[in-house]
Amino acid sequence: MFLRLAQQHQEFAQDLVMNLQALTIILERRGYTASCYICGDQMQSASFMVSLGEKHLIRFLVSDYGITWMELWDDRELMKLEGAEAISQLQELANIVKHSLAIQLTN
């Protein structure tokens, strides 16, 4: 059972890292400064960052130690979420990007 759970965790982390890479590309095309650095060769850890404004930064980390969302303003931590809450916040960011793209396509 534990080996199966470990395998599922690895696959989940890889899927999350691939989605972070895709989100980075989309954000860059939309004019945001974004980056996604992969740690290691198995795509199980990554550091994703996007600047939403002059002093507004989002950092999302995926690793064997967990998943973390940090929102910073002027180098001060505004919010830090972990696990499912962090992933939900990442989904909100993706929804905002998707919504703004849909509005632009209709104009």
**Tens of pLDDT along 48-101?**
999 998 899 999 999 988 999 999 999 999 999 999 999 999 999 999 888 876
- Provide mean pLDDT across the span 25-47: 91
Please count the residues of the chain. 107
Query: Phi and psi of 54, rounded to 5°?
Result: -55, -40
Overall number of domains in the chain:
1
Beta pairing partners, 67? 62
Q: How far apart are CA 55 and CA 76, in angstroms?
A: 10
Domain that holds residue 69: 2-106
With 70 as the cut, is the pLDDT of residue 102 above it? no
> Is residue 23 a contact partner of residue 96, using CB atoms and an 8 Å limit?
no
With 80 as the cut, is the pLDDT of residue 104 above it? no
Q: What is the pLDDT of residue 42?
A: 81
Question: Rounded mean pLDDT of the chain?
Answer: 91
Query: Which residues fall within 8 angstroms of residue 95, CB to CB, at 6 or more apart?
Result: none
